[in-house]
Amino acid sequence: MKIRSAQMAVFEANARRNFEQEMYEHVREFSPELARAAGDKNVVTVIAMAIDRAERYGLTNRGPVRLYLEMMLTFGSNFDTDPALAWAGRTLSDQLTDQKTRAERLHSLAQDYLARVAGPNDELTVAALRRVRSVSPESFEAATGPFDERMLRLLRTVYPEKCAFVGQAALDALFLEGKSISTDLGLTKEIAKALVIGTMFAFGHGVTSDPLYPWVGETLRDERIEGPNTRANRLYRKFTLYVDHMIDCLR
């Protein structure tokens, strides 16, 4: 029996749909709170993104693709280009090794990162989240010195372990990208720019367009809220609520 190319395409489409459904259930088990906050529609979008992006790096087997999805859930949908996670991009781009080897290496590096940055039972993450809640916008505005210096002091105060691990070059790149995104969004106040950079530091550099965190981009682009800086104020309130919820879930 000959199988026409059209029939093969149908088989492949069915296989993908089955895998996407399997991954949908996996996401709800792997990150239930994140999945709930993102919503079903965005979870489906992220799964499709993971499959397509993994394929660009030559990851097509079930295990490596599933790992790629888990990395997105853990570090943000754009983890592969995040300056704070340069080790991930380097590993994915290493075409001299097969996909199984790269996936194993990626998993090992991710575990090392989490051990050193999140700590046992996420203790370092929870401590950082608690420090976030102790910092007020007024304290940042009252601080002296150039914007980048104040931003660096703030992040080092809130999450010294992560700052030390990612390094100064990655933080400089994050600041530059965050200020560029803030300009594109029409944000003029320094506290609004600091908030954008802070969310990027916390949830990944692509957070303003990440379907895993729809409330960030939707708030910053919500034209029903008059003025970009007012939108940033609204985002700050949502950010603090989200942080409180994370603390409750992790402790």
Each residue of 219-235: pLDDT tens digit?
999 999 999 999 999 99
Whole-angstrom Cα distance, residue 35 to residue 56? 25
b/e 128-140 (16+ beta carbons within 10 angstroms → b): bbeebeeeebeeb
Domain map (residue ranges) of the chain: 5-117, 122-250
> Cα 206 from chain centroid?
6
Q: What is the pLDDT of residue 5?
A: 54
Instruction: Give helix 190-203 / helix 147-158 axis angle, nearest 10°.
Output: 40
Nearest CA among 190, 188, 243, 187 for reference residue 220: 187
Computed over every residue of the chain, the mean pLDDT equals 94
Each residue of 67-96: pLDDT tens digit?
999 999 999 999 999 999 999 999 999 988
Q: Name the DSSP class of 84.
A: G
Each residue of 38-55: pLDDT tens digit?
999 999 999 999 999 999
Whole-angstrom Cα distance, residue 131 to residue 158? 5
pTM of this structure: 0.93
Q: Name the DSSP class of 159.
A: -
Q: What is the pLDDT of residue 11?
A: 58
Each residue of 117-173: pLDDT tens digit?
999 999 999 999 999 999 989 999 999 999 999 999 999 999 999 999 999 999 999
Two tokens, residue 26: 């996996």
Each residue of 171-208: pLDDT tens digit?
999 999 999 999 999 999 999 999 999 999 999 999 99
Whole-angstrom Cα distance, residue 107 to residue 110? 5
